[in-house]
Amino acid sequence: MFKNFKIRDYDFKLVLMVLALSIIGVFAIGSAEESLQLRQLAGVIVGVILMLVISFCNYSLILKLYWGLYIVNLILLVMVQVMGETNNTGAQRWLKIGGLQFQPSETAKILLILFFAQFIMKYKDKLNTFRIVGLSVLLAAVPWYLVEEQPDLSTSIVLIVIFCVVMFAGGISLKLVLGVLIVAVPAVALLISLALQPDSEILEDFQQNRIFAFLNREEYSSAEAYQQSNSERAIASGMLNGKGYKNNEITSVKNGNFYSEAESDFIFAVIGEEFGFKGCVVVIVLLFGIALECISIARKAKDLAGRVIAAGMGGLIAFQGFFNIGVATFILPNTGLPLPFVSYGLTSLMSLFMGIGFVLSVRLQSRRNK
């Protein structure tokens, strides 16, 4: 499984960007909720070790177990439905086994990328046939349904995006993509319209209210829009240079506890208030740089599976980063998606580090074959 590589072939640029973003996250979490800082730091250390170990593995051998990865993914998601822990909204998303508690919907993102990397490569010559496309949709629909039923609408949307990215990277016909878009765009518009009807049962009440709060923020200013409005205010108050790390200003939105989940959903607001516009730009540039580096590695991968892995991870980080920042700045409805490598959440952090480990493996394998 392990092979000999030349150290100069290692993608230190990607590692440094991931580490920089993770360190920013540790500091930001320390300001938002100091009691969680050491846990996040420990998560980063363990994550880095996992990333390095995986990066020196031959990903092609691991992908031979792709059906096993898919089945493990389904088992974990089904276990959430049967014995999962719930949060204050009634969502059942966490699984507790012994002293270990984690969120299988986060690991599902990485496992789905790995599964389709091998599946697409195996059927690459038949990818644009009705049978393989239909089978691919069905295989993606099962874990998507289990996640959506938790309910976790935001992560289920991420799974759809991942599926679209890996299929595109796998070489699906642009004509087929165009045909799907022609049908999907009006269908989605109709679905959203129906979901927002007062007596609709398509969305949970809290999900529907979040969309209403985005569309009519004034009416929901003291309810569902409260968090996002204060997040937006916190970022604006940081101006260019910010108020300083762990500042004691009485005007601080964060210090006044005007938004909850500061360590996770609204960590970008903490960064904006304390490090200002400059800090926000650094985070955005790092996220963009990581996504671009993944795409660059995808283009040079030795095989189709490697291309799908790297492109899938790039798409995941870019999309999830955009949505988290979009929520914090009130340009999108509240979704609850974490900011990659920055937000508190050990399952998300471990999964992302493992995913980057596979991307680094793709890079090493491509360089070794030149």
Sheet with 85-86, strands from edge to edge, namely 85-86, 92-97, 100-102
**Structural domain contains residue 299:** yes
Q: What percent of the chain has pLDDT over 70?
A: 84
Q: What percent of the chain has pLDDT over 90?
A: 51
Tens digit of pLDDT for each residue in 168-197? Answer: 999 888 777 777 778 777 776 776 676 666
Rg (CA), the chain: 21
**Structural domain contains residue 2:** no
Count of CB atoms within 10 A of residue 361's CB? 25
Tens digit of pLDDT for each residue in 340-365? Answer: 999 998 999 999 999 999 999 999 98
- SS3 state of residue 333: coil
63 neighbors 114 (Cβ within 8 angstroms): yes
**Structural domain contains residue 193:** yes
172 φψ region: left (φ > 0), alpha (ψ -120 to 50), beta (else) = beta
In the block, which residue shows the tokens 């999309």? 319
**Structural domain contains residue 1:** no
- Cα separation, 307 vs 311, whole angstroms: 6
pLDDT of residue 212: 62
What b/e sequence results for 291-320 when a residue is b if at least 16 CB atoms lie within 10 Å of its CB, and e otherwise?
bebbbebbeebbbbbbbbbbbbbbbbbbbb
More confident residue, 207 or 166: 166
- Cα separation, 270 vs 28, whole angstroms: 7
pLDDT of residue 96: 81
DSSP-derived secondary structure for 243-311: S-TT---TT-TTTTT-SS-TTTTTHHHHHHHHHHHHHHHHHHHHHHHHHHHHHHHHHT-SSHHHHHHHH
Inform me whether the pLDDT recorded for 115 exceeds 90. Answer: yes
Tens digit of pLDDT for each residue in 244-301? Answer: 887 777 667 776 666 677 788 889 999 999 999 999 999 999 999 999 999 999 999 9
Range of the domain at 153: 7-368
pLDDT of residue 280: 95
**Structural domain contains residue 236:** yes
The pLDDT confidence band at residue 369, using thresholds 50, 70 and 90, is low
Of 233, 277, 290, nearest to 256 (Cα)?
233
By residue count, the chain amounts to 370
Of 112, 119, 108, 110, nearest to 50 (Cα)?
110
Total of domains in the chain? 1
- Cα separation, 313 vs 356, whole angstroms: 7
Of 355, 361, 358, 347, nearest to 110 (Cα)?
355
Provide the whole-model pTM: 0.90
**Structural domain contains residue 136:** yes
Inform me whether the pLDDT recorded for 3 exceeds 70. Answer: no
**Structural domain contains residue 354:** yes
225 neighbors 335 (Cβ within 8 angstroms): no
pLDDT of residue 139: 95
Nearest-5° angle of CA 31, CA 32, CA 35? 85
What tokens were used for 28? 């930001």
In the block, which residue shows the tokens 């045909």? 179
In the block, which residue shows the tokens 């009130």? 330
Ranked by mean pLDDT, the top range of 4-18, 85-99, 171-185 is 4-18
What tokens were used for 312? 């899938």
What tokens were used for 90? 């009634």
pLDDT of residue 108: 94
Across the chain, what does the average pLDDT equal? 86
- Cα separation, 314 vs 13, whole angstroms: 15
How does strand 100-102 pair with strand 92-97?
Answer: antiparallel
What tokens were used for 88? 């204050």
| Least confident span in 103-112, 212-221, 244-253, 302-311 | 212-221
